[in-house]
Structures are given as structure tokens and as C-alpha cells.
Chain A
Amino acid sequence: MVQALVDGVLLGGVYGVIATGLSLVFGVLGVVNFAHAEFLMLGMYVAWFAWRYLGLDPLLGSVLSFIIVFGVGYVVQRTLIERVLKAPPAAQVFLTVGLLIAIENAALMVFGSEFRSVSVPYQVEGYRLAGIFISAPYLYAFAAAVILSAALWFFLDRSWTGRAIRAVAQDPMASALVGVDTKRTYGLAFGLGVALTAFGGAVILPYITVSPTIGGQFVVLMFTVVVLGGLGSVAGALVGGIVVGVVQSMSALVFPIQLQNLCLFVIFIAVLALRPQGLIKGA
């Protein structure tokens, strides 16, 4: 029981970072990015190749994932997403769904359908603390997620660009009037959003194998986290991530493994129905 709780928190912290990216994109651009999980997959592949050919540990490779996917995201936003920012939701939904299908299958063509995993020395290690086993890869991924979240908070709160992003999220017109390049800021926010998710994907590589369809396994999870925390709320996404992580590992105690996701879906629909503004207000 306590064991499941600890595992859940460690898993959930990473879910938080993964979902923060999605939440950021919605909060700033007002677009629900259905293709978001595909950037997680890209981040995982970058980290895998960095491990395979550069010998980089995925925890370090995640920085590379962050940078490369940031660039990809910026280009995708400026060339595609930007053109539907003012379009009705249906157009946005289908543009990003089209993007999802295209990216997933592009990955299938380029990387092949086989599952790839890394092997790192600490993979099966862990720490014992008062009878609880703390898995090393879970712990390290959690720590990386916490560090990145802190960095994100610092960036959004202190840096000029971070403030510009928050300003554009609040009022694009007013920000443009005070000299913020809104188009560029949208691009940066989208790039940052997908890069956060890619980073999250990279740090979980030691305990999750990557394949072109991995995104599909994270789509609903990601949206559940974001909806729990309130769409557009960055802090909410972190809390939502931990809640989902705990729910997931707790439900594993009761239900067979296939039904784990079912729990998630039911929570997801229930939250949408009862509190679409999220469980945690503000932030």
C-alpha cells in the first residue's frame, strides 16, 4: 500500500512534467494539441539514439531531447498551428489529429516498428527505506522532473521571455501593444510545451520501451492529468500528474493490468463532466 503510494508519486511527478507541456500550450495558444504525445515519442527516440550512438545516459540525453524537440515544435507552430489559431475548435482539433497520424507514421517509416530500450547500470537497482523499495530509475526520473519544473517556474516567473509568454496568454492584444512579438512568443511557447513533454519522455526511457505507437498510450493519460489540474494551469498539471500516478499504481493493486487504463478513463470522463475547470482552481 505505502509502496504503491511511493511508486505512484514517483511516476506521477514525471507525468506532471509531461502534461505541463500540454497545459502550457493550451494556456498560451488556446489550442488543444492532440498530437502532443507524439512529441513525447520523438523525445524518447532522441534520447535512445543519444544513448546508442553517443553513449549518453537518457537522463543527460533528455537535455538533447529538449533542445531538438523545441526546434521541431517551433517550426511546427510557425508553419502549421499558427494558421488555425483563430479558426473554430473543429479545425484545430483536426489539424492536430492529422499531425498526430502523420508524425506517428513518419516515425514508423523512419524508426521501424520494433521496441527499443536502453540498458543503464542502475536499471534494476534501488534503495530500501523503512521497508519500502525505491526503484532507482523511478527516483532519478522524478528528480529530473522536479529540477525541470523548478527551472520552468523560474523561467516563466523571472525571465523576460517567460513573462512575455504569460503576458500573451493573458491578453495577446495588450502584449503586442507593449512590444511583445506575439507570433514569436506563440512559437516559443509551443516549442517549450512540446520540449517539456519530450524531456519527460526521455527520462522515463530507462523503464519504458519506445516504439512509434508509444504516444497512443500516453494520450489519455496526459489529458486526464491536464483536465484534473485544469486545462491551461501549469501548477495544476504537476499536482494532477501526481494524483494520476498514485491512482494508477493503487488501482494496479485491485484490478488486473488491462483495466488500469479503464480507471483512468472513467476518472477522466467524470472530471470532465463534474468539474471541467479542473479540481484545482487558479494558478
Chain B
Amino acid sequence: MRKHLSPGLVLLLLFFVAAAALPFFVDPRGHLLRVAAMALLFAAMAQSWNIVGGLANQVSLGHAAFFGLGAYTSTLLFLRFGISPWIGMFAGAALAAFAAALLSFPTFRLKGHYFALATLAFAEVLRVIANSWASVTGGPVGLSIPFLGTKPELFAFRAVSSYYWIILALLVIVCLAFRLLARGAIGYRLRAVRENENAAEVAGVDTFRVKLTASIISAAFTALCGTVFAQFTFFFDPDSIFALSGISVRMAMIAIVGGLGTLGGPIIGALFLIPLEEVANAYLSSAAAGLSQFVFGAILVAAILIQPRGLMAYWPKSKAGRLARKDAKPVTPATPATEGGR
């Protein structure tokens, strides 16, 4: 492991240390810490997405499905049976992993647009179910988690800083998982699938199994994030937790703006986008309804057009940076469309 300690990794470790120290320097109940916690949570979500979206290039537009499953499972277990969300979150992760496996069977052959469409529809199915199966899910009004003061065993705290540290720990774990996966044998197989699935299959990679493993791990982590989100915000409803633009797209967008398939990408993306959105919300939402969301959409369009490899491309030593420089040098002025037409 030691020989892999690149400057980027050192920077990442320093970032985690600095992030862990942040609550000592700002108001532990303040708004700033809430925003920071949200940014770290979205970083963890984007990193979870990155496992399947970045490493295997299976662009999912339905990760809100797993996020919502996590939030609903732990919250319902707690509200109905008094089971601590600490246990509930792993039940949620297990359920999400199962759902991911189930979804893999009809979608594993799908690529690119088709995969994105199928996952999008899957999240929509869950949203419709959560809305209409009111006797179990509480229906469109959503679920509220009662305020309990500080009860660590029930995942309830008075101070924002406690949630903040839990979220940070989750982010560290997801990042660790991402790195282990990316560096391990499965990472090479996933990259082989990404570059050329048929060639990978011929070379003896069990592509279905590799993708299945990645999507199960990705879904489980996303569900953990869902539980933490529910506990942190105390309230959620079907339309917000299974939201296409609010959750599914945002997870992917953070990873893409930061740098698809890179370890640091989701963190940089979240630290850039979530505060930006917060500022946009604070200053623009009073100006006109929809303006902040409009800005969000416009940033996504701009990010894709300006630097499709994400902010990581500006870090010269990263792979994204090398690839971006390669992009900048066109091979021939007019490359024929080999992929687009058909």
C-alpha cells in the first residue's frame, strides 16, 4: 500500500483530517456546519454512484431508488417496531443490494442510454409505489422522525457536529471501498468492461458478475447514505427522496463535474456544487421560483461542454488530467462519427 501514497492521496488524507477538525472551528449548531455535512453526504453518495457509474461506465439515472430504500427501511423499522436506525440502516443496505441484484437481471445487457432509461424507470416505479401504498409508506405526506434529543443508540443527536462526524466517517469508508475496488482485481475487470465489454468477455471476464458485484456494493452504500440523510433531516417524502433531478441526477452530476471514475472527483464535485447551490438558493430563491434550479441545470450543461472529464482534469497528475490533455490534441481534424450515426 505504501508505494501507492501519491501526492493526491496525501492531499486527500489531509482533507479528511481538516474536515474532521472543522466542527471545532465553527459554530457546532450553525448553518455552516449543516451545509458542510450535506456536502460530505453528497460526496459519499456520488462516490457510491461512482463505483458503478465511473468504474464500469454504467450510467445510472436511478440511484435515488436505493437512496430511498435506505431511508424508508430504517425509518419504517424504527417508527413501526422501534428498531434502532443503526440496525435499520444495514437492513436498508441489504434490501437495496437485493433490489440492485434484481434490477441487474433485466438490465445487465443494456448499455449507455438504455441502461440510463431502465434505471430511471426503476426509481420512478419506487416513487409511485411509495406514493400510492400509503398504509405502509405513509403515502405522499412523507415520514417524520420524532426529535428525541441526544440518544446515540437511536441515531439521534442534538448537535449537528455528531451527524457531521458520522457522515464524514461514512464518506471515508465509501472512499476506501472505492479505492480498494478500483485497485483490486475487480477494478481491472470493471475497467475492461468499460473500455470494451465484448473484448472483456472474450478475455475471460465474467462481465455480468463483475457488474453485478459493483452495482450491489454501490446500491448498499447509497442506501446507507439514505438512512443517514433521513436521520439528519428528520423528514422526507416520496417525491423528494426518489427525485430524478434532486437525487439521481445530482449524485451523478457531482461525480461528473468532479471527475468520473476518479477517487477525488466526487469530493471535489460535492465541495464545489453543494455550497454553490446553497448560495444560489439563499440569494436567488427569493428572486424567482425556479431560478436556483435553472442555474443548477445550466451548470450541468456548461460542465459537460467545457470540461467533460470534470474538475479533476485540472489536477495535472491525475488520470483525468492526462486524458483531458490527450483530448486537447485532436488526432485528425475531422474524425468521422463512428458511434453517433446508426
Measured CB to CB, the residues of A under 8 A from B are 29-32, 80, 83-95, 97-109, 112-113, 168-173, 212, 216, 220, 223, 227, 231-232, 256, 258-259, 261-262, 265-266, 268-270, 272-274, 276
Contact of A172 among B53, B128, B256, B341 (CB under 8 A): B341
Contacting pair A84 B121 (CB below 8 A): no
Contacting pair A90 B59 (CB below 8 A): yes
Contacting pair A105 B118 (CB below 8 A): no
Contacts of B272 in A (CB 8 A): none
Contacting pair A95 B305 (CB below 8 A): yes
Cα(A212)–Cα(B122), bound, Å: 24
Contacting pair B288 A87 (CB below 8 A): no
Q: Which residue of B lies closest to A224 (CB)?
A: B121
Contacting pair A90 B260 (CB below 8 A): yes
- Residue B57 lies at the interface, judged by CB distance under 8 Å to chain A: yes
Chain B: residues with Cβ within 8 Å of the partner, total of: 55
Q: Which residue of B lies closest to A33 (CB)?
A: B113
Contact of B132 among A90, A91, A107, A259 (CB under 8 A): A259
Contacting pair B112 A30 (CB below 8 A): no
Cα(A258)–Cα(B127), bound, Å: 11
Contacting pair A262 B129 (CB below 8 A): yes
Contacting pair B59 A86 (CB below 8 A): no
- The 6 A-B residue pairs whose C-beta atoms are closest, nearest first, are A98-B300, A273-B106, A101-B297, A102-B297, A108-B290, A89-B112
Contacting pair B131 A258 (CB below 8 A): yes
Tally inter-chain residue pairs, CB-CB below 8 A: 174
Instruction: Give the Cβ gap from A184 to chain B, nearest Cβ, in Å.
Output: 16
Contacting pair B341 A94 (CB below 8 A): no
Known contacts A32-B113, A90-B59, A268-B121; is-contact A99 B128 (Cβ 8 Å): no
Cα(A276)–Cα(B108), bound, Å: 12
Contacts of A83 in B (CB 8 A): 305
Contacting pair A220 B114 (CB below 8 A): no
20 A-B interface contacts by CB (under 8 A)? A30-B340, A31-B340, A80-B305, A85-B340, A87-B308, A100-B245, A106-B290, A108-B290, A108-B293, A108-B294, A113-B289, A172-B341, A262-B128, A268-B117, A268-B121, A269-B106, A269-B125, A272-B114, A272-B117, A276-B110
- Residue B64 lies at the interface, judged by CB distance under 8 Å to chain A: no
Which of A93, A101, A262, A270 is most buried by chain B, counting CB atoms within 10 A of its CB?
Answer: A101
Within 8 A of A (CB), among B257-299: 260, 288-291, 293-294, 296-299
Contact of B110 among A85, A100, A107, A272 (CB under 8 A): A272
Instruction: Give the Cβ gap from B153 to chain A, nearest Cβ, in Å.
Output: 38
- Residue B41 lies at the interface, judged by CB distance under 8 Å to chain A: no
Cα(A104)–Cα(B297), bound, Å: 9
Instruction: Give the Cβ gap from A152 to chain B, nearest Cβ, in Å.
Output: 21
Q: Which residue of B lies closest to A112 (CB)?
A: B289
Contacting pair B297 A105 (CB below 8 A): yes
Measured CB to CB, the residues of B under 8 A from A are 53, 57, 59, 61, 105-107, 109-114, 116-118, 120-122, 124-125, 128-129, 131-132, 244-245, 249, 252-253, 256, 260, 288-291, 293-294, 296-301, 303-305, 308, 335-337, 339-342
Q: Which residue of A lies closest to B341 (CB)?
A: A172
Besides A85-B337, A90-B59, 18 other A-B contacts (C-beta < 8 A): A86-B335, A89-B113, A98-B298, A101-B249, A102-B300, A102-B301, A108-B293, A171-B341, A172-B336, A172-B337, A212-B290, A220-B121, A231-B114, A256-B132, A258-B132, A262-B128, A269-B107, A269-B118
Contacting pair A93 B113 (CB below 8 A): yes
Contacting pair A101 B57 (CB below 8 A): no
Cα(A90)–Cα(B106), bound, Å: 20
Contact of B304 among A29, A95, A169, A266 (CB under 8 A): A95
Instruction: Give the Cβ gap from B280 to chain A, nearest Cβ, in Å.
Output: 11
Contacting pair A109 B290 (CB below 8 A): yes
Instruction: Give the Cβ gap from B39 to chain A, nearest Cβ, in Å.
Output: 20
Cα(A231)–Cα(B113), bound, Å: 10
Contacts of A261 in B (CB 8 A): 124, 128
Contacting pair B342 A90 (CB below 8 A): no
Q: Which residue of B lies closest to A171 (CB)?
A: B341
Contacts of A32 in B (CB 8 A): 113, 116-117
